[in-house]
Amino acid sequence: MGDVYKEQIVKRQQTSRDSLKRAGLIMAVIFISFIAFSMIPQFAPFVVTGAVFGAWYLLSFLKVEYEYTFTSGELDIDAIYNRSRRKRVFSARVSDFEIMAHVDDKMHHGSFEGAQTFRDYSSGVTSDNSYAFLINHENKRTKVVIEPNEIMLVALAGVLTRRKLHVKR
C-alpha cells in the first residue's frame, strides 16, 4: 500500500466576538492616542505609531485559515494567520482517535462528555461536514472539531475502524 497524502483548507468565519475584538482594539488605540497627546505631547507620535502597529499586528490574528494535512495515517493541522504566518496547532496519529462522529450525532454525544480540553479547528459554523474526535493528546482527553471534506473523510476512514468512525448519513 502506498503513501496517502491529502490536504484541505478551511477558512474560519468571522463572528460577532471577532468584531468586538476589532472594535476594542480600535478604541484602545484612540484612547492611548488621547492620553499620549494630553500627557506627553513630545512623545505622542511615537506612542501612537506603536499603538497603531500593535493593533494592526493583533488584528492580523483574527483572519485564520486551518490547513488539514493527512499523510499516511497522521493528521496535522496548521493555523494560517492573515495568509502569511503558519503555525502547527495539532498533530496526531489517526489510529489514536478513540471515536470520531458528527458534531450533532446524539447517539455518540455522551462519548465526548469526559473531554478535559476542547479545540475547534473548523470554520466555526456547524455544517454537514462538522466532525469531532476524541483523543488523548498531551496527557489530556481532548475533543477536537474539524470540517473534513469528502476526500479527507475517505482518507480518515481508511485508517479508522468502523467502531471508531461514525459518518453522518
Residue 122 lies in a domain: yes
Residues 98 and 57 in one domain: no
Residue 73 lies in a domain: no
22-33: pLDDT as tens digits: 999 999 999 999
pTM metric for this prediction = 0.85
Residues 116 and 56 in one domain: no
- In this structure, are residues 94 and 75 in contact, taking their beta carbons and an 8 Å threshold? yes
Residue with cell 466555526: 124
Number of domains, the chain: 2
Residues 111 and 158 in one domain: yes
Residues 55 and 99 in one domain: no
71-124: pLDDT as tens digits: 989 999 999 999 989 999 999 999 999 999 999 888 888 888 888 999 999 998
Residues 102 and 150 in one domain: yes
Residues 6 or more apart in contact with residue 95 via CB below 8 angstroms: 73, 159, 160
Domain holding 31, by residue range, is 16-61
As a whole number of angstroms, the distance between CA 169 and CA 124 comes to 21
Residues 46 and 104 in one domain: no
